[in-house]
Structures are given as C-alpha cells and as structure tokens.
Amino acid sequence: MKALLVLLLVCTGVFAQQPEPVVQTPVQYSLGIVPQQSAQKLAGMWIPVIDYINEKTGFAISFATATDIPTFENRVAQQDYDLVYMNPYHYVVFSESANYLPLARDAHKRISGIIVVRKDSPYTTLEQLYGKTLAFPAPAAFAASIIPRGQLAKENISINAQYVNSHDSVYLNVINGLFPAGGGIIRTFEHLPQVQNEQLRILWKSKDYTPHALAVHSRVPEAHRRLILDALLSLSESEDNTHLLQGINFTGFIEALDSDWDDVRELGILSLSRPYY
C-alpha cells in the first residue's frame, strides 16, 4: 500500500525534483580613485562609502586605484573604470576623450591649490623659491601642480619641478627637508595626520575652483547611474552617515552638471601633455 502511495505521489509530481533557485550575480562595477594618497589610506577612506552604495543599490562596486597619478591617467584614458573620482582637470579632459559623464561632486567645498613649506622654513614669499627644486604629485595634478606652477610662471619665478607620485609624498618630502617646498591641495593637507600637518605651513594658496568629479562611464545604463546617484545623495540625509562623509573629507554630495567645470575650461588647458599654463 505504501509503495503504491509513493508511486502515485511521484507520478503526480509531488516528489518530482524541484528546479534549483536562480541566484542572480550582482552587477559589478569598478570605482577608480585618483591616487593622491597611498592605496591603503584611500581604501580605508572609500571602501565604507562603497559598501554603503552597494547596500543601497544591490550592485557590487569594487574599489580601485593606481600606483601613481600617470598610471591612473592611462587607465582612465583606456576607459578601464566604470566610475572615477578624478580631479577637475582630468574630468575636463576625459569627459571629452574617454566618454565619462558627470555624476556627483562635493556639495559645498571647492578646491584650492597650495604651496607648502616646513613650519620652520625661512621662506615667506614665492619669489624666494626662484631657482629651487619643488615637489609636485604629477604633471597633470590640477590644483597641486598645474595651478601652482602656473602662478609661478605668471610671476616669472623659474623653478625646477620634481614629481613624486602623490600628495602625501609631497608633504613627507617637504617635512623631511628633501625639498624646500611642494604643491598640494587644502583637502589632502587637512587630511594629514596631525603630527605631520603641524610640521608644515601654507606659503601660498590659489583661488577656488570646482572640486573633483565623481564621473561615470557612458556604458553604465542611465537607470544604474540614477541608483548610484540616489545612494550618494542619501548619505546626507542621516547623521548616522556623517562618519562616512567625514572619512572622505566631504560635506555631502550633490548631482553634478558638466557646466560645473567651466571655470576649469576657461584656463585653456586642453591636454594632459601641458604641465602648466
């Protein structure tokens, strides 16, 4: 009787093998961060934000950077990254040549170039740097290299430039006395450990410009761009997320427009091959 019941159940499909549930793989994207600081430091800053975006969107966005700014520039030029956090000059160039679109930027902060010296340095004016060798992150680092070098050239202050790959390297080289001065930006200067920041002094500061862009490649569907943007905008909606914004030294995100960087375009810097204007 039991055998007949089992046979009946099998025939009616009750014991038929159920199909395996379909496991959907999350959409994978890469977010390339300009290497103004060490990869370890950048990962510590940005991965919590990326984890938040992934939780909100269901995507699998991964952190990426490069060993130095020129390598990063090459990867952006080759359109390796799906999303990119890059300086204003990079955005102006790569929005034209590599199909990157504006997504978001800092809501309130603007970017300023600076030249720093040791706190105990005898230098108090730019003119005193004439003939010296200064440290800069990379030729196309907008506010940390192009703007300071442009100002020096404008004032006919001839200097030699040595590129040391990152903002942190500039600051450490100046602290250690390997260079009398170097170029950076307010944001990375403020993000230095206090013990390092206290050993430096800002000798010169530029005017303000539209800050770095968080851009997205045109291959990312518009619906996905919107989801990522909504996640970024939601960071400002709760005080529980304040630590995430502080971790990347942001006041909050707003949606970016291509025209936001017209102030950079007005400088007439048209290609990465021009070290300064």
Q: Report pLDDT digits (tens) over 86-144.
A: 999 999 999 999 999 999 999 999 999 999 999 999 999 999 999 999 999 988 889 99
**The pLDDT value given to residue 9:** 44
Contact of 131 with 158, CB cutoff 8 Å: yes
Closest Cα to residue 34, out of 107, 93, 120? 93
pLDDT per residue over 247-274, tens digit each? Answer: 999 999 999 999 999 999 988 765 554 4
Residue with tokens 């055998």: 3
How many residues are there in the chain?
277
Q: How does strand 60-64 pair with strand 28-33?
A: parallel
In our burial notation (b when 16+ CB lie closer than 10 A, e otherwise), range 140-171 reads bbbbbbbbbbbbbeeeebebebebbbbbbbbb
The two tokens of residue 36 are: 């103004």
User: With bands split at pLDDT 50, 70 and 90, how would you rate the model's confidence at 8?
Assistant: very low
Give the pLDDT score at 36: 86
